[in-house]
Amino acid sequence: MWLGPEEVLLAGALWVTERANPFFLLQRRRGHGKGGGLTGLLVGTLDVVLDSSARVAPYRILHQTQDSQVYWAVACGSSRKEITKHWEWLENNLLQTLSIFDNEEDITTFVKGKIHGIIAEENKNEQPQSEEDPGKFKEAELKMRKQFGMPEVEKLVNYYSCSYWKGRVPRQGWLYLTVNHLCFYSFLLGKEVTLVIQWVDVTQLEKNATLLFPECIKVSTRDNELYFSMFLNINETFKLMEQLANIAMRQLLDNESFLQDKSLPKPRKPLKNISALKRDLDARAKNECYRATFRLPKDECLDGHTDCTLWTPFNKMHIPGQMFVSNNYICFASKAEEACHLIIPLREVTIVEKADSSSVLPSPLSISTKSKMTFFFANLKDRDFLVQRISDFLQRTPSKKSCNSDREWKWNLADPGCEEVPELPSSSPLAASPTSALSNRPVNFCAGEVPTASQGLLKLFRRNSEELLGPKGAKEKMKEESWNIHFFEYGRGMCMYRTAKTRELVQKGIPENLRGELWLLFSGAWNEMVTHPGYYADLVEKSMGKYNLATEEIERDLHRSMPEHPAFQNELGIAALRRVLTAYAFRNPTIGYCQAMNIVTSVLLLYCNEEEAFWLLVALCERMLPDYYNTRVVGALVDQGIFEELTREYLPQLSEKMQDLGVISTISLSWFLTLFLSVMPFESAVVIVDCFFYEGIKFILQVSLAILDANVEKLLQCCDEGEAMTILGRYLDNVVNRQSISPPIPHLHALLTSGDDPPLEIDIFELIKTSYEKFSNLKADDIEQMRFKQRLKVIQSLEDTAKKSVVRAVSGDIGFSIEELEELYVVFKAKYLMSCYWGNNRAAAARRDQSLPYLEQYRIDMEQFKDLFISLTPWSCGAHTPVLAGRLFRLLDENRDSLINFKEFVTGMSGMYHGDLTEKLKVLYKLHLPPALNPEETESAFEATSYFTEDVTTEVSPFVSELDFCLHCESQETQEDKGRRNENGPEKEEKGTSPQDYRYYLRMWAKEKESKKETIKDLPKMSQEQFIELCKTLYNMFSEDPVEQELYHAIATVASLLLRIGEVGKKFSNRPVRKSEDCKANNSQDPVSEEESPTSEQSQNSAVEQQPQTDHEDKTCGDAQPEKTQQENQTLGDGSGEGQGSPLQLLSDDETKDDMSMSSYSMVSTGSLQCEDIADDTVLVGCEGSSSAARYGSTIDTDWSISFEQILASMLTETALVNYFEKKVNILQKIKDQKKVERQFSSSSDYELSSVSG
């Protein structure tokens, strides 16, 4: 590549001059290429260890003048070919011009200007994307691609200097982290280390401390454990590794997530020596943390954050923390975790202004909202810029403000007290909540008004209010009053100050009248609901009357959702539940419906109206419990792993016992998936849900640990899993809520409570208090870190399960061993995944459906199959190999969807690797018949036949009949027979209604039910053009074999023999062909032949039966003609039907003697060897010119045919051919080689691939 001219003082240091002229030098780096001795080894080592600015290419061109000691580097190259191209350009375009100049300074100025011009011209054509990355980084990326054989679509994220521990020896080198791979390269004193690991293969990432080094990173795969140390910034490296591995896991779990990660937002300010992709990944990590902290919608992107203080009026203090600004929100988080959190939606903001500075409020910023609240931020470093950014965002949100202003306004006016909302009746207990504001908006989900559209089911099914008058009612009133005081001091709605006081109130239980409102606020569901008005109603309308697998499952589970609660003992509650679940299934088809969603949703509907319950369900499934509710409940398994880890840390004495009993995996799924709603009395579990919406999964883990801690002694004495489950079941059954104003709902698990002693009741509030006292030091950030670690483990475990299931499913019918099948599955899956991230289109990712059986989840197309076939096949045919691969793909693709699954893939491979000579030849034979043989491959020869043959009927008959026959043998589908009847006119239609025809189909159906093993007699005959293609394949196949000449001699002998057999067979078949019309005329009067005709393809008992009963006797005369030819040929040639000796019986002894005595050269001239020289696009007519052109005017002989038995018998006479096809090939070695070739590893001492253009 051309370089902006750089000054070089010592041109000879570490470089060898290879070419020179008066103005330029071409130099090679010492140590590059062969030889070089100790100096070369040292230079190579220095280049790798010190990275010599990563731009030390092995070749360079310097500009020089005679009297100057200063040289200018103008070009460099990673290969001799590249640098020679530049050198020739300079010689051809500049030398003559430069010789005209008198002044050396003018020469140098001219060269510099010319080189700068070339670079500018090249940069014009480059994509703007590449301009974002700094020059040094682009050079490192180029070096990575050349070193590891990566395509241009593989993007480098960052690279680091580090040591890789190979045994006990550290190898200093460079670690390259790309989107899909971890790569490492080291070269020390002639020893080269090259590593390439796919992120999807990583099972564990850990930061470890060893004796030699305080910190190192351990990367585990299924096969290896790799250790890297001596990083300059190990935390940054490890964090980036985690991110990239996480993206890969998302790809395995859900392809769409991976595709979204490929289109990252553009950075505003490029940073030095950091790639755009690295900056974008950093921004993505910050966005995820920001959204999780403040429970914001998934599409919210952080714009920036700054340190500041917030004036809090409730305690008259300045709280230090950070302000976060995004497209739609201004948020604040205090440095002390529990001090204060604040979320201000921009849709609520009315005024943003700079207030006057004072000693109390330096550089203050005032933000006012519609709810008459004003927030003061102070100590802002760049207040003017911040105000401008917020103003810009405010200008972009007018439409959202206007469409929601009424609803927002009504809600926020109600801050001081509930009497101020005139739209609600005074008796409504929810007058002050966001639910009340929505309850006045009419929502017609069906033909008429639906009560659940405006209020929760608890209001509609209010029971006797005796409890409201007793002590429980008084307690509930006190709770409501506490919350009203809190609202007065801290604000109400989204803009509420959230402090430790808020958490205390939540722990004491949210009053029933406020539960729906506060769930919406704490979960963030309120934000999504007000920004998507009418969304739920539209979904309900669209999903009405639609049926799919999800709706069937929903219908099945509707009556299992809290059947003990009166609200779900009638159609009103059931219908509301159906609408919410169905609407969500249509919103998110990836999840659709999962068991346990019905239980959680039914509880949400008790306290919220339908729209609110829907948005709470969205928040649960998509943000708060990610990946919980899918077919493989990955999220719940991940949190189960975290629970096991926490148990080991906090309850070490119990952990081992629980592992032995296998209890944790059983309990955690039921606890986490339903938030304890299915295992605890409803009144108690709903308090757990209160705290969950405020704290997140941290609280569920905390309570789970408290439950185990309370039962440690009993659990340690358990003997089996059942006993442990009973102990925990009894404990949870007796967790009571003595403050609940609702009458107790019978709990299904109460049956577990037995024994003489009355059960000990546990107060839910005491349990929550204990959980905070003992386990409150759990941090949300730590849990996210643990989630990543467990996600790797869980998803890789699921992938291993999938592999075992697939291998077990296919192993019975395939000749490969379990080990070979597992290796093939890895290669097959890797090829599929490669198409997802290296393919130009994303169709491969789109066609993976997680709901399909494991065997069908990974499927490859023809191009991918060709790549695998070329690297794995034992039948290498040189340039002809892709053609053979395409034919095998068409043969395997039985359902014609242009995709094959793993079973179809290994079936095709097994046919080439396993079985005897007959089985392998049968596969090869089928590859040269339709549907494997593409009509286009023989189209040229086929068209030639139509030009030179006067009989029009023979133009299409051989191909059509062969195709129909082969399809019939392969799939045994009766639809093929229907197609033939439709093609061949009304006579066939009439025949289809006869009783004999029905009996025929009954027999066919019976045969389909049997496990039919295909025999060689079932194979159709091969026409001359197909035989020519077979010869061509065989010649290509033998071209690089060690015994190449013997094989050529053998195939020449066999091919010429078979050509003669076909000719002889044609002579015997001429007589019955001429009688075909008489046969056809007699068919309609012969009920026996009419009944038997469809099965005549398999009938080979005698020549007498076959003459009047051809395969398609009802077809036109021309169509029937070749079929009769084949039947006659097979009858006379096969004799008794034994295939191996039959071909020679067709020839007299003299003919046989003559043929076998021919020299190999004369045999070649009979037409078979010509196939070796045939190009893929050559008209096939010429292939058989010497054998039949003289008699048929260079046309394909449509009467000529040969059977599989005849080919097999002829092959068996040649030892070389038998040995070739019975030779054993180790597929594991092929797979190993394929992996190496795929990465294009450099294993030689020449660094052609390990260097880089500078």
Q: What is the spatial distance between Cα 173 and Cα 171, in angstroms, rounded to a whole number?
A: 6
Average pLDDT estimate for 1036-1041 = 84
What torsion do the CA atoms of 715, 719, 722, 727 make, to the nearest 10 degrees?
-30
**Which pLDDT band, with edges at 50, 70 and 90, does 1069 fall under?**
low
The backbone torsions φ and ψ at residue 33, rounded to the nearest 5 degrees and listed phi first, read 85, -170
**99 vs 1135, higher pLDDT:** 99
**357 vs 203, higher pLDDT:** 203
Average pLDDT estimate for 200-208 = 90
**1065 vs 1204, higher pLDDT:** 1204
666: left (phi over 0), alpha (psi -120 to 50) or beta: alpha
Sequence-separated contacts (24+) of 996-999 with Cβ below 8 Å? 996/1087, 996/1090, 996/1091, 997/1094, 999/1091
pLDDT of residue 309: 93
Residues 585/568, Cβ–Cβ less than 8 Å: no
Q: Which of 785, 789, 781 has its CA nearest to residue 637?
A: 789
Residue 344 bridge partners (DSSP) = 330
180 C-beta neighbours (distance < 10 Å), count: 21
pLDDT of residue 1168: 39
Instruction: Report helix, strand or coil for 345.
Output: strand
Vertex 312 angle, CA 310 and 316, to 5°: 120
C-alpha separations of 951 from 224, 946, 1004 in Å: 69, 8, 35
Instruction: Report helix, strand or coil for 1151.
Output: helix
C-alpha separations of 579 from 544, 553, 611 in Å: 8, 13, 10
Instruction: Report helix, strand or coil for 254.
Output: coil
Q: Which of 893, 870, 1084 has its CA nearest to residue 996?
A: 1084
Residues 12/70, Cβ–Cβ less than 8 Å: no
Question: What is the DSSP annotation of 3-47?
Answer: EEEEEES-SSTTEEEEEE-SSEEEEEETTSSS--HHHHHHHHHHH
pLDDT of residue 659: 83
Peptide bond into 931 cis (omega under 30): yes
The contacts of residue 725 (CB under 8 Å, 6+ apart) are 663, 666, 667
pLDDT in tens, 244-263: 999 888 888 876 544 444 44
Average pLDDT estimate for 1163-1182 = 38
Length of the chain: 1254
Q: Which of 929, 1173, 1214 has its CA nearest to residue 1055?
A: 1214
Share of the chain above pLDDT 90, in %: 26
**Which pLDDT band, with edges at 50, 70 and 90, does 489 fall under?**
very high
Q: Helix, strand, coil % (nearest 5) of the chain?
A: 60, 10, 30
Q: Strands of 2-8's sheet, edge to edge?
A: 2-8, 71-77, 59-63, 24-29, 15-20
Question: What is the DSSP annotation of 137-202?
Answer: HHHHHHHHHHHHT--TTS-EEEEEEEEEEETTEEEEEEEEEESSEEEEEEEETTEEEEEEEEGGGE
Q: Which of 1006, 934, 1003, 922 has its CA nearest to residue 970?
A: 922
Q: Which of 140, 136, 146, 9 has its CA nearest to residue 73?
A: 9
The contacts of residue 1192 (CB under 8 Å, 6+ apart) are 948
**188 vs 1166, higher pLDDT:** 188
Residues 878/890, Cβ–Cβ less than 8 Å: no
Q: What is the spatial distance between Cα 343 and Cα 143, in angstroms, rounded to a whole number?
A: 47
39: left (phi over 0), alpha (psi -120 to 50) or beta: alpha
First and final C-alpha spacing in the chain: 7
Out of 466-480, 1026-1040, 1090-1104, which region has the weakest mean confidence (pLDDT)?
1090-1104
**Which pLDDT band, with edges at 50, 70 and 90, does 40 fall under?**
low
The contacts of residue 536 (CB under 8 Å, 6+ apart) are 583, 610, 611, 614, 615
Q: Is 1229 exposed, middle or buried (0-12, 13-18, 19+ CB in 10 A)?
A: exposed
Q: What is the spatial distance between Cα 455 and Cα 217, in angstroms, rounded to a whole number?
A: 55
Secondary structure tally for the chain: helices H, strands E: 57, 23
Vertex 494 angle, CA 493 and 500, to 5°: 90
The backbone torsions φ and ψ at residue 220, rounded to the nearest 5 degrees and listed phi first, read -110, 135
Of 155-159, 689-693, 745-749, 798-802, which has the strongest mean pLDDT? 689-693
pLDDT in tens, 965-1004: 333 444 444 344 444 444 444 333 333 334 455 566 666 6
Residue 560 DSSP symbol:
G
pLDDT in tens, 891-919: 998 888 888 989 899 998 988 888 788 88
pLDDT in tens, 361-384: 788 899 999 988 999 999 988 888
**Which pLDDT band, with edges at 50, 70 and 90, does 578 fall under?**
very high
Start-end of H helices in 414-534: 434-438, 457-460, 466-469, 471-490, 500-507, 512-523, 525-530
Q: What is the spatial distance between Cα 740 and Cα 763, in angstroms, rounded to a whole number?
A: 11
Residues 416/373, Cβ–Cβ less than 8 Å: no
Residues 685/677, Cβ–Cβ less than 8 Å: yes
pLDDT of residue 283: 86
- Kind plus residue range of the DSSP H or E element containing 378: strand 374-378
The yes-or-no verdict on residue 1012 having pLDDT over 80 is no
Average pLDDT estimate for 680-700 = 93
Calculate the average pLDDT of the chain: 75
Q: What is the spatial distance between Cα 1110 and Cα 1131, in angstroms, rounded to a whole number?
A: 12
Of 402-406, 460-464, 775-779, which has the strongest mean pLDDT? 775-779
Share of the chain above pLDDT 70, in %: 69
904 C-beta neighbours (distance < 10 Å), count: 21
Q: What is the spatial distance between Cα 1252 and Cα 144, in angstroms, rounded to a whole number?
A: 8
Query: For residue 920, what are its two tokens?
Result: 């392998």
Handedness of CA 838, 839, 842, 846 (dihedral sign): negative
Average pLDDT estimate for 425-453 = 45
696: left (phi over 0), alpha (psi -120 to 50) or beta: left
Residue 1247 bridge partners (DSSP) = none
Query: For residue 363, what are its two tokens?
Result: 């550089």
Q: Which of 257, 259, 235, 150 has its CA nearest to residue 197?
A: 150
C-alpha separations of 1034 from 153, 245, 629, 1048, 1221 in Å: 38, 46, 55, 9, 11
**Which pLDDT band, with edges at 50, 70 and 90, does 574 fall under?**
very high
What torsion do the CA atoms of 311, 317, 323, 327 make, to the nearest 10 degrees?
-40
122 C-beta neighbours (distance < 10 Å), count: 11
Q: What is the spatial distance between Cα 1214 and Cα 1156, in angstroms, rounded to a whole number?
A: 12
**Which pLDDT band, with edges at 50, 70 and 90, does 859 fall under?**
confident
pLDDT in tens, 1098-1155: 333 333 333 333 333 343 333 434 344 444 344 333 433 343 333 333 334 443 333 3
- Kind plus residue range of the DSSP H or E element containing 66: none
Residues 229/215, Cβ–Cβ less than 8 Å: yes
**24 vs 1194, higher pLDDT:** 24
**Which pLDDT band, with edges at 50, 70 and 90, does 516 fall under?**
very high
Query: For residue 466, what are its two tokens?
Result: 């005796």
Q: Which of 1187, 1074, 1205, 1078 has its CA nearest to residue 1131?
A: 1205
Average pLDDT estimate for 394-411 = 51
**Which pLDDT band, with edges at 50, 70 and 90, does 540 fall under?**
very high
C-alpha separations of 10 from 16, 121, 350, 482 in Å: 12, 30, 68, 82
Q: Which of 385, 343, 344, 346 has its CA nearest to residue 363?
A: 385
pLDDT of residue 1077: 44
